[in-house]
Chain A
């Protein structure tokens, strides 16, 4: 059974850092592209960052470029999102999701809440 479990969210001050983790089971991270999608309170879905499985290439939305870093540890089968220089507008629930083949995000974690506030 495929499962994604996020952790690492919490309350952080503006300018601070957090590292989110997404532990995958039931499949191998190396074989799939993965994404982080966030949802600000009461708002829609925003793709924040992606990691392409085979070639290990990365993508960042303009809103987080230069501040966030996506990575993976294949030995732990875990995806990460290192978030630095946090802003109030980074507040929201962060989901990791698997990119399905042929398309769509077929599995999602339960989400982890990030709150940036002074």
Chain B
């Protein structure tokens, strides 16, 4: 099973500043990686697939990068509505997709 490890567990960033979230896979997954945002009391929302392709309606301040085992989600200028928990997920080996444990993003 591919293990996904996210860091940091919690990130506190001031509005307008940049937020950088990391995700590491235990083995190479090419670009078969998705990112999700989950706000309190809501279902997760797909942000990216293919490591760097934005899903429909995702603002341009969000960007994804990486391949192989190292991936990054960047929010260039943090807005208050960006608070929540962010999860990465690989989809390299159907159907054994696994999620990372999540990074909680807070406003400072």
Contacts and interface: CB of A to CB of B under 8 A. Distances in A.
A13 to B, nearest CB: 27
A106 B55 contact: yes
A41 interface: no
A27 interface: no
B43 A103 contact: no
B61 interface: no
Contacts of B38: 45
Interface residues of A, number: 21
Contact of B98 (A47, A95, A104, A110): A47
A44 B100 CA distance: 8
B45 A108 contact: yes
> Taking each of A33, A59, A103, A111, which has the highest tally of chain B beta carbons within 10 Å of its own beta carbon?
A103
A48 to B, nearest CB: 11
